[in-house]
Chains A and B, each alone.
Chain A
Amino acid sequence: MVKEFGDKFNFIFIYTREAHPGEKIPHLASFEQKLEHAKLMTEKYINRTMLVDSLNGDIHHAYGRLPNMTYIVNRYGNVIYKSDWTDPSTIKMVLDHYLDEREMLANKIRATPYYVEWQPMRKNDSEEFMTILLRDAGPKAIKDFIESQKHYQGPVQSNSNIGKATAKKLEKWLEKQDY
């Protein structure tokens, strides 16, 4: 997406905190360590401008402190999109729409803002996520996550047994892993 839209938009990544600390990637105890983790991300995953939040997450708090959020902010400093999960296909849709809006305005077509709410669904592959987490963070991260799932009530749109069912499935998966 950066290749397709990089000349029209700034793409930045803000490193926040470790959501699932483990043996290999522990929790953050200093800002120097935070810089090291962010550096690791640029080496392994992120090809955008990497910005690092303060150790206590001042910017992260201001935007809602969820682990994988995305916001889009226009040149006037107004939020035009926010999502509690980063989904490339949705972001592309929004950027395409934004460029259409710019074209309308450039052509002196009258445009007016409107409000929309939407609750799409995304693929949630727990085993794929666990595989990456086991490799990158270590078994502690996975065991902590499974334990927390047992207490998870789920978002408002889901049923309240979703956490326990997920935890059971993940425990079976972990038993089969060689680590």
Chain B
Amino acid sequence: MSSYNYDTFPLDFDMQAFIDFPNIANAGTKAPDGKVCNLLTNKWEQLSTYWKEKTTIIEFGSVT
């Protein structure tokens, strides 16, 4: 199991991520691009495919 996919919610839940957030992918800069798997088609596609078509709202999350 990787530390990213932790089994137990960390006691010090990744505070560095909160500290770093104001300096990552800021407004006015290029959005990070990369491959994601489309659940419907089960195919990997470039994230930029979406924003090249229309301005795109990207939400991140999970079941829990």
Residues of A within 8 A of B55 (CB): 8-10, 72-75, 80, 98
Hey, which bits of chain B sit against chain A, CB under 8 A? 1-2, 4-15, 17-18, 20-21, 24-40, 42, 45, 47-48, 50-64
Interface residue total, chain A, C-beta cutoff 8 A: 83
Alpha-carbon separation in the docked complex, A94 to B6 (Å): 34
Contacts known (A38-B39, A77-B33); A9 close to B61, Cβ less than 8 A: no
Residues of B within 8 A of A144 (CB): 8-9
User: Are A72 and B58 in contact, with the CB atoms below 8 A?
Assistant: yes
* A127 CB → nearest B CB, Å: 16
Alpha-carbon separation in the docked complex, A73 to B32 (Å): 10
User: Are A10 and B21 in contact, with the CB atoms below 8 A?
Assistant: no
Alpha-carbon separation in the docked complex, A136 to B61 (Å): 15
User: Are A67 and B61 in contact, with the CB atoms below 8 A?
Assistant: yes
User: Are A63 and B25 in contact, with the CB atoms below 8 A?
Assistant: yes
By beta carbon, the residue of chain A nearest B13 is A148
Alpha-carbon separation in the docked complex, A86 to B61 (Å): 9
User: Are A148 and B9 in contact, with the CB atoms below 8 A?
Assistant: yes
* A168 within 8 Å of B (CB atoms): no
User: Are A22 and B4 in contact, with the CB atoms below 8 A?
Assistant: no
* A91 within 8 Å of B (CB atoms): yes
Contact of B20 among A40, A64, A151 (CB under 8 A): A64
Contacts known (A73-B55, A144-B8); A66 close to B39, Cβ less than 8 A: no
Contacts known (A53-B36, A57-B4, A151-B11); A10 close to B28, Cβ less than 8 A: no
Contact of A71 among B4, B28, B31, B53 (CB under 8 A): B31
Contacts known (A27-B7, A29-B1, A57-B4); A66 close to B18, Cβ less than 8 A: yes
